[in-house]
Structure 1
Amino acid sequence: MLRNKLLTLLISLMAGLLGNEQAFARLYDDVIDSGYIRIGVYKDFPPYSWEEQGKPTGLDVDIARHIADKLELDLQLHWITPDEGLEDDLRNNVWRGHYLDKDEDNPLARKNVADVMLRVPYDKAYAYKRDSLGYLINEFVVMMAPYHEERWQVAYDSQRLDSVKTVAVFQYEPVGVEVDTVPAFYFTSALNGRLRDKTRHYVNPRAAFEAMEQGEVAAVMAMRSEIDWLLEQGGNPRFRLAENSFPTMGRQMWDVGIAVRETDRQLGYAVEAVLDDMIRGGQMKQIFERYGVRFSAPSFYQVEQAAQTQAQ
């Protein structure tokens, strides 16, 4: 009798734990029936998503609003604080929830996850990456629907540099980068470390731009959208865009898409259709232009357009 009770309790606890691995996951029908969609965007990350005088703004915020409108749903923004890596962000904000974000009624459950997460690097190799035992690292998440191509960009002070035809110029002039990013690693290791002494680290690209305004650095490297927005905001005619590439850097451009739970592909397909219409109809480009940022269509659309041009 006691054994049966203990066995029943154990089964119940195990079922609860397994059921809560994707706690509060809402399937497509749940989202539609609820009347709202919860879309995840990164916190304090201009020009993509941030708050200005308490009002959410940014490229991804506007994209999220458009998605909600087209699906005839109210929008709830889920603000994402970045963790150590993308895998952590996907776990904490898409399929499981952060371990600190408990539900008071059910201490085993995580209560606050997004239905859809924006600005997720779209890479098939990463999406199907396996661990040392052969298990999929991202088995609970689907990355899909690329809506923008991002790349690295340098802006420089034309009063200090005539041009930036090669990164070798940063052997002699300091460059500002965000700490713990690809540019930070690149400039401290490229050309056998010859750029390391002229590399200055800042908390974000905005701080690096302020340093360029004050003459601390001659250039800044960050994502192109960030550079475009900072140039638009500052309006300083001295600051110009470099056109150089970055030897030995590896991937210098990548697509950005969405992430949904593996169990909720239907919602992902619905959002994908909205994003596709935005790209083809020009609304996506208009949103980017609103923030002074250049829009570059994902590689799929570029290949498609090139094929159509060639056919003509």
Structure 2
Amino acid sequence: MLSRRGFVRGAAAAIAGAVAAPLVAAPLAKIRALGVMRIAVYRDFAPWAAEREGRLVGIDVDLGKLIASKLGVRGEAIQYIADESVDDDLRNMVWRGSLLGQAPGDVMMHVPYDRVLGQRNDRAVLIAPYYRESFAMVCNRATTDCEVPPPQLKGKKLVAELDSIPDFYLSGSFGGVLRPDVKNKLSGEAAVAAVAGGEADAAVATRAQVEAGIKASGDRLTLRKGPLPAMTSPGWNVGMAVKDDSRDLGDEIERIMEGLAKSGELAGVFAAHGVEYRPPLLT
């Protein structure tokens, strides 16, 4: 199954306490009557959603709240732990709620916008693709030439998120020549931070994680400009999801997103977190 953890694996932490919320995801009229839209985001998933000094911040948090403001309601971002597959996440975050008793959100952020995934999950409706994600390499500017063919990184200290595509790429590509040099972190954010802190020479993570890490590090990091040879993932579109009985909400969100893209507000949300906005590739 298509797994969010297969791209970026969230750190496993327990949610403390029950969430006071409506028992089911709400269609548009109910959201407006309540005056609040619940925005389901992944936990510990910077730069998209993460707690910083007691506040939940990130691209998905800001974008969800911006959409809510355009609807004339307050946006409330709710964190969810990534489950074993995106199918499980759609169940937990969109149409049923988690086995821990956490109610679903009204809209789920950061869903792979994938036709097969949508067909397999008829209780959720995939909507509003808003970003094209991919993988990138980042290097310590002082120790590593990021543009060399990756096999020439043998002997360098390499890092990637545990059991992720970047981990498999560094460990398994090029005949496994780099495998002895690869160490693991619990997230792509932590892998990039290890390079910035001098613990490693290079990392592979999602492009958003890399760009956000570069912004946070000053001039210590450099982004590989060339492609990643032998990388099997061409990238993927990121969108949202609503419950099957909330299609009116989905339609309104798509209308709002079209306006945000045209006005430049969408790109501004990404830029605030150091990430270049890349529109989805749609066929």
TM-score if structure 2 supplies the norm length?
A: 0.86
Counterpart Cα distance in 2 of 1:212 and 1:65: 32
The answer as to 2:114 corresponding to 1:123 is yes
Structure with the greater relative contact order (CA < 8 A, sep ≥ 6): 1 or 2? 2
CA contact (8 A) 2:139 2:145 kept: no
Q: Partner of 1:114 in structure 2?
A: 105
Q: Partner of 2:35 in structure 1?
A: 35
Q: Partner of 2:244 in structure 1?
A: 262
Counterpart Cα distance in 2 of 1:162 and 1:210: 18
- 1:56, CA displacement in angstroms? 2.2
Q: Partner of 1:274 in structure 2?
A: 256
How do residues 54-133 of structure 1 correspond to structure 2 at under 5 angstroms? 54-101=54-101, 112-128=103-119
Counterpart Cα distance in 1 of 2:131 and 2:197: 32
The answer as to 2:127 corresponding to 1:140 is no
Counterpart Cα distance in 2 of 1:35 and 1:216: 47
Root-mean-square deviation (CA), in Å? Answer: 1.8
- Amino acid in the other structure paired with 1:118: M
CA contact (8 A) 1:166 1:244 kept: no
- 1:214, CA displacement in angstroms? 4.6
The answer as to 2:150 corresponding to 1:167 is yes
- The 1:246–1:213 alpha-carbon spacing in structure 2 relative to 1, beyond 3 Å, is closer
- 1:276, CA displacement in angstroms? 1.2
- 1:163, CA displacement in angstroms? 3.2
- 1:120, CA displacement in angstroms? 0.8
- Amino acid in the other structure paired with 1:126: L
The answer as to 2:239 corresponding to 1:239 is no
Q: Would you say how many aligned residue pairs link Structure 1 and Structure 2?
A: 261
- Specify the SS of the correspondent of 1:147: strand
- 1:150, CA displacement in angstroms? 1.1
Query: Aligned match of 1:248 in 230, 242, 248?
Result: 230
Query: Aligned match of 1:211 in 180, 190, 194?
Result: 194
- The 1:147–1:213 alpha-carbon spacing in structure 2 relative to 1, beyond 3 Å, is closer
Rg larger in 1 or in 2? 1
- The 1:251–1:210 alpha-carbon spacing in structure 2 relative to 1, beyond 3 Å, is closer
- Amino acid in the other structure paired with 1:186: Y
- Specify the SS of the correspondent of 2:236: strand
Deviations 1:89-136 (A, max 9, x none): 1111111111220xxxxxxxxx611010011111223322xxxxxxxx
CA contact (8 A) 2:138 2:192 kept: no
CA contact (8 A) 2:196 2:220 kept: no
Higher relative helix content: 1
Name structure 1 gaps, 5 residues minimum.
1-22, 102-110, 129-136, 304-312
Counterpart Cα distance in 2 of 1:248 and 1:185: 11
189-198 vs 218-227, greater mean Cα deviation: 189-198
Name structure 2 gaps, 5 residues minimum.
1-22
- Specify the SS of the correspondent of 2:135: strand
Q: How much identity, in percent, do the aligned residues show?
A: 31
Counterpart Cα distance in 1 of 2:79 and 2:198: 34
CA contact (8 A) 1:25 1:113 kept: yes
How do residues 150-165 of structure 1 correspond to structure 2 at under 5 angstroms? 150-165=133-148
Counterpart Cα distance in 1 of 2:56 and 2:200: 31
